[in-house]
Amino acid sequence: MSDTALQPIATPAPIPVGEILPWAIFGGVLMIIAIYFVGTEEGALALFSGGYVHEFVHDGRHLLGFPCH
């Protein structure tokens, strides 16, 4: 007969909201900046002169459904 001991089941520890909130805000700001550059960085609202940013994100604009031409 074998002696087997049952291992206690580990329960995950909850993550406090105070630790998640700064990272969630940081991720949200990065997403807003990315959507700005992909979606509206051209024309009258352009922050950078020339079409370099537009050409860099051009395929991403089409992939996400933003019209550009």
Domain boundaries of the chain, sorted by first residue:
27-64
In the numeric block, the tokens 């998640």 are attached to 20
Using an 8 Å Cβ cutoff, are 54 and 41 in contact? Answer: yes
Taking phi over 0 as left and psi of -120 to 50 as alpha, with beta for the rest, 7 belongs to beta
**Assessment of whether the complete model's pTM goes beyond 0.75:** no
Amino acid at 60: G
pLDDT digits (tens, 9 = 90+) for 11-49: 888 888 899 999 999 999 999 988 887 777 666 667 777
Q: What backbone torsions phi and psi does residue 2 show, to the nearest 5 degrees?
A: -95, 145
